[in-house]
């Protein structure tokens, strides 16, 4: 038997603000989310709205020891727990399991700059690099870079102390976090889970990393669907975001009196070789696994990279005719590991608000990895 899995809590923060209501209002209004230039790199980013960290991370000491991406995740997780009515239930949180999609930590830019400057005139560049990487970088930097610290901080701050898993792997990590959480609950292995991810775009090494592959848009904002294919025009605009969902079996939610905001169907994750036509093929093969999906809305995680964004659009025209498509990247940018959780959060919010009854959230990785998440109205 397969148990029905529902969403009982949504937590999201991004350039659009804090909470699902702010996101639904902005998407309903149309246009696009705020964009600014990242101070050091100059690349456009969708910067997260200013947050009162104390509201979800009360201790200043906890705030200080987290990097920005960890604070975003911890904050969004707290919002999801609040929405699910779980924040003040230690026993429930003690058996709640956690799945986090996260990348590595941030660089010590001052030290990087000093090493690169000295490297130019070093007699033996290899020896110089090894020596200074070992001696100049503080040991705590490496500890702060560990991706599973996001889960650790959520456990410490919010008391979610069941088993935890951390996935790395950019956009696919976010898809997998949702897929594993839904599958474990559906199989009866656990009753309730907290799943999501976070990403900080406001760091100069972010655009550099992806510009090396030609993935980043340089020329200011343009809608995802209209970014063309020229260098500097195509590609994504990174966005800072944190997004978490509380998922539980329908029976468990009913037993504790929690409202089911939306039902989540089995999440489909596809990792095919990226070549012309692969995105359309992956969507065509994956779509039947969503069940009888006839969505009235689609929340697309398309990046704006050519030609894969056009392939997704063409596939959706065939698979979801008549559905209203909103590109999440127009509003919050592209938050890498948090892309699929954010799209799923918005989809669940649309269902919970009554704005839609059947919504599919998509994720198309900038290099590889496709995913589909279907949210429907509870019976």
Helix (H) or strand (E) holding 325: strand 324-327
Mean pLDDT of 126-137: 86
Mean pLDDT of 166-174: 94
| Separation CA 356–CA 353 (nearest Å) | 8
Domain co-membership, 71 together with 115: no
Q: Which domain holds residue 131?
A: 109-142
Domain co-membership, 292 together with 356: yes
pLDDT band at 203 (very low <50, low <70, confident <90, very high): confident
Residues 81 and 11: beta-carbon distance below 8 Å: yes
| Separation CA 117–CA 154 (nearest Å) | 38
CATH code of the domain in which 246 resides: 3.40.47.10
Structure-model confidence comparison of residues 148 and 263, the more confident one = 263
Domain co-membership, 59 together with 123: no
| pLDDT above 80: residue 107 | no
| pLDDT above 90: residue 206 | no
Domain co-membership, 237 together with 117: no
Domain co-membership, 45 together with 123: no
Last residue of a domain, one of 122, 142, 162: 142
pLDDT band at 138 (very low <50, low <70, confident <90, very high): low
Phi, then psi, of 269 in degrees rounded to 5: -120, 130
pLDDT tens per residue across span 4-27: 999 999 999 999 999 999 999 999
| pLDDT above 80: residue 231 | no
pLDDT tens per residue across span 152-163: 999 999 999 999
Domain co-membership, 116 together with 91: no
Domain co-membership, 125 together with 261: no
Domain co-membership, 131 together with 247: no
Task: Report the number of distinct structural domains present in the chain.
Answer: 2
| Separation CA 204–CA 107 (nearest Å) | 9
Residues 222 and 229: beta-carbon distance below 8 Å: no
Domain co-membership, 118 together with 229: no
| pLDDT above 70: residue 142 | no
Domain co-membership, 118 together with 252: no
What's the confidence (pLDDT) of residue 141?
Answer: 56
| pLDDT above 60: residue 323 | yes
pLDDT tens per residue across span 297-310: 999 999 999 999 99
Domain co-membership, 351 together with 206: yes
Domain co-membership, 89 together with 44: yes
Mean pLDDT of 25-42: 91
DSSP state, residue 80: H
């Amino acid at each position: 038997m397969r148990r029905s899995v529902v969403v009982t809590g949504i937590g999201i923060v991004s350039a659009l603000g804090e909470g699902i209501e702010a996101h639904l209002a902005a998407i309903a209004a149309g246009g696009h989310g705020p964009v600014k230039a990242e101070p050091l790199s100059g690349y456009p980013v969708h910067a997260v709205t200013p947050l009162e960290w104390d509201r979800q991370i009360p201790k200043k000491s906890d705030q200080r020891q987290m990097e920005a991406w960890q604070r975003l995740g911890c904050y969004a997780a707290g919002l999801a727990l609040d929405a699910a009515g779980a924040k003040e239930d230690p026993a429930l949180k003690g058996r709640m399991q956690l799945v986090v999609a996260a990348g590595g930590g941030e660089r010590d830019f001052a030290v990087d700059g000093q090493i690169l400057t000295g490297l130019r005139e070093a007699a033996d560049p290899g020896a110089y690099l090894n020596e200074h990487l070992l001696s100049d970088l503080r040991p705590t930097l490496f500890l702060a870079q560990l991706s599973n610290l996001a889960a650790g901080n959520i456990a410490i701050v919010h008391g979610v102390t069941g088993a935890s898993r951390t996935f790395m792997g950019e956009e696919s990590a976010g898809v997998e976090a949702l897929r594993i959480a839904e599958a474990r609950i559906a199989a009866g292995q656990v009753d309730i889970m907290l799943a999501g991810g976070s990403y900080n775009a406001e760091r100069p090494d972010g655009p550099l990393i992806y510009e090396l592959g030609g993935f980043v848009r340089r020329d200011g904002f343009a809608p995802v669907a209209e970014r063309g294919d020229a260098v500097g025009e195509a590609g994504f605009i990174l966005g800072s975001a944190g997004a978490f969902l509380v998922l539980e079996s329908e029976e468990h939610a009913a037993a504790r009196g929690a409202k089911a905001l939306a039902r989540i169907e089995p999440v489909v994750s596809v990792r095919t070789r990226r070549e012309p036509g692969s995105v359309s093929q992956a969507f065509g093969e994956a779509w039947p696994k969503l069940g009888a999906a006839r969505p009235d809305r689609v929340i697309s995680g398309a990046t704006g990279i050519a030609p894969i964004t056009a392939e997704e659009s063409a596939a959706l025209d065939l698979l979801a005719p008549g559905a209203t498509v909103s590109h999440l990247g127009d509003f919050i940018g592209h938050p890498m590991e948090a892309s699929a959780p954010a799209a799923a959060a918005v989809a669940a919010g649309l269902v919970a608000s009554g704005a839609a009854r059947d919504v599919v959230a998509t994720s198309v990785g900038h290099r590889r990895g496709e995913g589909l998440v279907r949210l429907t109205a509870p019976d």
